[in-house]
Amino acid sequence: MALLTVALTAPAGLAASSTVEITGVGDWQVTGTALQGVVPPSKSIAGQWVYASATDADTTDGLSVTDSDGSETVALKEWSDILWTPEAGYNSTITANFLVDADLITANVGDWATVDYWVKLELKAPSGTLQRTQTVLGSFNVEDGEVLNVEDLAVSASITTPDWHIEGNSSKLYIYAWADVEAFAAVVQEPEEPEEPETPVIPAPGAVVLGSLGAGLVGWLRRRQTL
């Protein structure tokens, strides 16, 4: 069972970051008619397939940080000489199971973090002709101080063998997995401190008295024509 935890606010002081891991579970499975001649005979896909992580701690450059792992064009694992019965009612369904874990963190308004992931199965003829394919994809996004934790999210991809011959019935199975992550830390706007109002100058009582006396003295001297 997958566990998704979302918090509205990240702990203070953290940069924006995004991490994803894709892990294979056990063997790929076959339902319906059994396959024959699988090479190598082990169908194990257990273990880590993809790990990507990006952290942006620079809030001044205006640039995001990215990372990726895996490939959509180069299979991480493949099997050959897969013999299947090309007849309706005798189909074989191949299923590969994976778990996805992800952590996305943002700390401030304007931050964001993303995860995009894919798992793909292909069944091809020896010449490379595509017989069957399925791609399963998903994504996660957070922003503005949100965080997201995803644990053991089950992801499965399946393909079923055709009812007819396509260049014979000896095929190759290819399994791909890849992921892209990106994180961006926005410029933190520090709040401006309000200007302090100027304190009005209030004359002391003594200064008021002296000012009045001075004005009276000047008037008296003028009347006496001294000034």
Give 57-116 pLDDT, tens digit per residue: 998 889 999 999 999 889 999 999 998 888 888 999 999 999 999 999 999 999 999 999
| Three-state secondary structure call for residue 70 | strand
Count each helix (H run) and each strand (E run) in the chain, helices first.
Answer: 1, 11
> What are the structure tokens assigned to 39, written together?
């090479």
- Model confidence at 138, pLDDT cuts 50, 70, 90, reads very high
pTM for this structure? 0.77
pLDDT for 8-33, tens place per residue?
A: 444 545 699 999 999 999 999 999 99
Three-state SS sequence of the chain = CCEEEEECCCCCCCCEEEEEEEEECCECEEEECCCECCECCCCECCEEEEEEEEEECCCCCCCCEEEEEECCCCCCEEEEEEECCCCCCCCEEEEEEEEEEEEEECCCCCCEEEEEEEEEEEEECCCCCEEEEEEEEEEEEEECCCEEEEEEEEEEEEEECCCCCCCCCEEEEEEEEEEEEEEECCCCCCCCCCCCCCCCCCCCHHHHHHHHHHHHHHHHHHHCCCC
Query: What is the domain extent for residue 121?
Result: 3-184
| Residue 221 within a domain | no
| Residue 124 within a domain | yes
- Gap between the Cα atoms of 162 and 177, Å rounded: 24
| Residue 134 within a domain | yes
Does the pLDDT at position 224 exceed 80?
A: no
| Residue 8 within a domain | yes
Does the pLDDT at position 189 exceed 60?
A: yes
| Residue 193 within a domain | no
- Return the percentage of the chain with pLDDT > 90, whole number: 62
Phi, psi of 213 (to 5 degrees): -60, -40
Phi, psi of 42 (to 5 degrees): -70, 130
| Residue 207 within a domain | no
| Residue 127 within a domain | yes
| Residue 218 within a domain | no
Amino acid 87: pLDDT: 84
The number of folded domains in the chain is 1
pLDDT for 41-53, tens place per residue?
A: 999 999 999 999 9
